[in-house]
Amino acid sequence: MNRTPGTFYNHSNQTEYVALSRVADVVGVPGYIITNAISNGSLTVQEISGCKCVAVTDLFRFKDEGGDNNAEK
């Protein structure tokens, strides 16, 4: 299993996480979209080994629900 910088895997719940600093790049949206999603509760931030992270499953849900379409055009 390959790991990339800024990703974490929790073996106890079989969940992959992305560091908060990399979330906007992974999703492909401006940072303010991620900030707004965290503020309004659309994305949940968890701390793993001292690093604030977002679950990859939450990112997929966020994109599927159109959360990334809130960017100004």
Q: How many domains is the chain built from?
A: 1
Q: What angle do CA 8, 64, 5 make, to 5 degrees?
A: 20
Is position 41 within any domain?
Answer: yes
The H or E element that residue 24 is part of is helix 23-27
Instruction: Print the domain residue range for 29.
Output: 7-67
Provide the 3-class DSSP secondary structure of residue 10: strand
pLDDT of residue 72: 47
Interval 22-63: pLDDT, tens: 999 988 899 999 999 999 998 999 998 889 999 999 999 998
Instruction: Based on DSSP, count helices (H) and strands (E) in the chain, helices before strands.
Output: 3, 4
CB 34 within 8 A of CB 22: no
CATH assignment at residue 61: 1.10.1660
The pTM of this model reads 0.78
